[in-house]
């Protein structure tokens, strides 16, 4: 994805912060995924902003970060963050199988 985070304000939804705390995922890890991860799914019709699911590796973890993009205000809104369950995803964690 190669997102230059200096151009954006990153906003964390309360839900994302709770999940990050519960799952021991840091803001540094999320930033790594936003800067270096791959978009594996796009949801252009999501409201109020289009969203994307991004997969990446940080500090030995495979993570998925779901974001919404408010391009008019240069905001990235982190909706949730998780380690994908290998029983539910393909071997590359790009496609849900169950």
- Tens-digit pLDDT profile for residues 2-41: 577 788 999 999 999 999 999 999 999 999 999 999 999 9
Q: Taking the CB of residue 87, how many other CB atoms lie within 10 A of it?
A: 7
At 29, is the secondary structure helix, strand, or coil? helix
Q: What does the pLDDT read at residue 2?
A: 57
| CATH T-level topology, domain 5-82 | YaeB-like fold (3.30.2310)
- Please report, for the chain, the start and end positions of each structural domain, with discontinuous segments joined by +: 5-82
CA pair distance 19, 41, nearest whole angstrom: 20
- Write down the pTM of the prediction: 0.92
């Amino acid at each position: 994805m190669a997102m230059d985070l200096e151009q954006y304000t990153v906003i964390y939804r309360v839900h994302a912060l709770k999940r990050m705390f519960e799952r021991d995922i840091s803001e540094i890890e999320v930033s790594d995924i936003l800067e270096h991860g791959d978009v594996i799914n796009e949801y252009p019709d999501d409201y109020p902003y289009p969203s994307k699911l991004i997969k990446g590796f940080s500090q030995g973890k495979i993570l998925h970060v779901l974001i919404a993009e408010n391009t008019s205000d240069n905001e990235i809104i982190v909706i949730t963050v998780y380690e994908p369950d290998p029983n539910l995803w393909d071997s590359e964690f790009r496609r849900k199988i169950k």
